[in-house]
Amino acid sequence: MKRLGLFFIVLCLGLCPSLGFSLNNQSDISKIVNSFKVQNEAPGKMVRVGIGNQNFSNYLWEKTSIYATSEFEIYNDKTYINTFDANNPVDIYMVGKIFVIKDSEGNDIAKVSGPIIFKTDYGYLGIKNLKRAGKDALYRGQIKLVCPKEGYFNIVNLLGVEEYLKGVVPNEMPVHFGLEALKAQAVAARNYVLSPRIKSSPNYDVVDSVASQVYFGANTEKELSNQAVEETKGIVAIYDWNLILALYSSTAGGYTESYENAFSEPQTRVFPAKPKPYLTGVPDYEDFGILNDEESAAKFYKSKPKSFDNKSSYYRWERKWTQEELQNEVQNHIAAQSAAGFVHPAVQRGEIIGLIKGLKVLERGLSGKIMKLEIQTETQNYVVEKELVIRRLFTVDGKALPSANFVIEQEFDEEDNLKNIKIYGGGYGHGVGLSQYGAGYMATHLHKTYDEILKHYYQGISLSTEPFILNKYSNNSVSQIFYSKDGTATLVADNRYKFDYVDLIINGVYEAIKLNKKERYNRIDLSQYLQNGLNKITFKYPSYTGNTGNLKMYIELAGKDE
């Protein structure tokens, strides 16, 4: 018996003096249940996505045409302007800071300061002549036009996080990687969009390109990837009560790298960065060993051992240059990369470096990723740090190296002058966190579940709802919707302030959940109250208590592996 009726639960609670209160009549019951109807009942969190031009080079628009696949409305912020039929585009351009809106026949509709809101109840909104993945760009939710400066506006897609993810997951990962891999991608993408970040614009939270996550909208959604989003609804990866930085890349090459060995501190640019314990480099198989010396790195990247990334075309790759080609590539890019602060000594624009005599790896990470590389010239040696800088410095046909996981072979003439360089590499991207090709292999060949995949790539994590704090005054009610495949989950509560219980409504049924005052962290099995699939829990700050402290909680779907 998984669920007890509301009357029976409340009756039992009324007879239970250990909870410190009693319910004497139906009025008391109504007060408890009605008290949940307060704040945070909105259908999920929203995200503002900046929509770029065709090649994502610009997020400032001078003009556009908006339409919808069904009847749609236009508002000047909250003031209604007009209603239009399906597939009847409306043209918009700027005069100074004023939006000029015209119908498809060129008739003036309005001239307003904005922002302009486009809404449709039954279809999708579209941007005329904009393509995504070869299809017309169509979007769920609303489209908002906001003017950041005279003559220009941003196009912002405002929609729920779960709807946004449906336009991300199939564009970040091929659907043939399988449902469980897509679920892992959905959780990682959800973490990304929910995590705090420095925004490139006050008008949007993320953009629709690789600068954030690839978001191509509703016209690129796939049935299987939508299922992956729905079957992980509300689930994030956390470590020590915080959302993790769920980094991912295409191909790790058989071995992921520790965060600090690939990234610098965002604010200070200090390299290496501070470690993140859940982003520690891991091999696909334990017998790979650590690859932080030249011999082990060469053995690994000059071969193709069985790994989770074998299916990727970037699992192993080679590049080569003559001395002259290498000289030109480095000279053309070193000043721009030096401007980021990771070339020592710094090279100014227009400064000529000496003739390159050779390259020397100074430091590698666990996966063999180059962290520091010395460029030896006839006049001076330059130390280059950080994987992305190294990749962008050593280009081929204008393209950065796929990764910094490579070993170098150098050929010299009889006078010890550098003739040719060849490198053997593996992987595509920074190689930290989830490997998308690796996740696909784990799902389709090893039959791993999405939580097993995520726990391989992110160590010590729990899969849960987003942690939150109940506060008597400012945040006394929170609702969460989450998916539980088998109807099991655990309430995790930080009971620092020694509460007796917490009020919940679980799938419409009131429950008063007893807490242990003697233990700081409570873990309470909620499985008897849950159902397979979607569940909704509303948490209410305890009503019958004089306590004024905070109550921190989350719902755990899969705990960390000990």
- Residue after which a domain boundary falls, among 176, 211, 230: 230
Q: How far apart are CA 152 and CA 146, in angstroms?
A: 9
- Same domain, residue pair 136 and 211: yes
Q: What's the order of all strands across the beta sheet hosting 406-412? A: 317-322, 418-425, 406-412
Q: What is the pTM of this model?
A: 0.90
> 209 and 90 share a domain?
yes
85 and 220, same domain (yes or no):
yes
**Residue 511 and residue 412 share a domain:** no
Residue of 171, 189, 169 lying closest to 244 (CA atoms): 189
What's the confidence (pLDDT) of residue 384?
97
Q: Which residues of the chain have pLDDT under 50?
A: 1-43
3-state secondary structure of 391: helix
Identify the pLDDT of residue 346: 96
- Sheet-wide strand order for 533-540: 477-484, 533-540, 501-506, 509-514
Same domain (yes/no): 81, 150 = yes
Choose the final residue of a domain: 424, 455, 486: 424
Specify whether 30 is located in the same domain as 50.
no
Range of the domain at 337: 317-424
Sign (positive or negative) of CA dihedral 246, 249, 250, 252: negative
Gap between the terminal Cα atoms of the chain: 31
> Do 57 and 13 belong together in one domain?
no
Whole-number pLDDT of residue 515: 94
In a domain, 257, yes or no: no
pLDDT for 74: 96
* 546 shares a domain with 477: yes
Q: Is residue 235 part of a domain?
A: no
200 within a domain of the structure (yes/no): yes
Q: Is residue 204 part of a domain?
A: yes
What pLDDT was estimated at residue 549? 87
Is 321 inside any structural domain?
A: yes
Q: 236 — phi, psi (to 5°)?
A: -130, 170
Q: What is the pLDDT of residue 10?
A: 34
**How many structural domains compose the chain?**
3
483 domain residue, yes or no: yes
In angstroms, the CA 307 to CA 439 distance is: 11
Q: Is 386 left (phi over 0), alpha (psi -120 to 50) or beta?
A: left
What is the reported pLDDT for 474? 80
- Can you give the pLDDT at residue 562? 53
**Three-class secondary structure of residue 213 per DSSP:** coil
Q: Is-contact 216 280, C-beta < 8 A?
A: no
74 near 127, Cβ under 8 Å?
Answer: no
Q: How far apart are CA 513 and CA 538, in angstroms?
A: 12
Residues 55 and 194 in one domain: yes
pLDDT of residue 545: 64
Among the candidates 424, 458, 492, a domain finishes at 424
* 87 and 119, same domain (yes or no): yes
- Say if residue 417 is in the same domain as residue 553: no
Residue 559: the pLDDT is 75
DSSP state of 466: P
- Do the domain assignments include residue 448? no
Dist CA 229 CA 113 (whole Å): 37
- The CATH number that applies at residue 493 is 2.60.120
User: Residue 77: what pLDDT?
Assistant: 87
| Predicted local confidence at residue 9, as pLDDT | 33
Q: Are residues 68 and 157 in the same domain?
A: yes
Inside any domain, residue 312: no
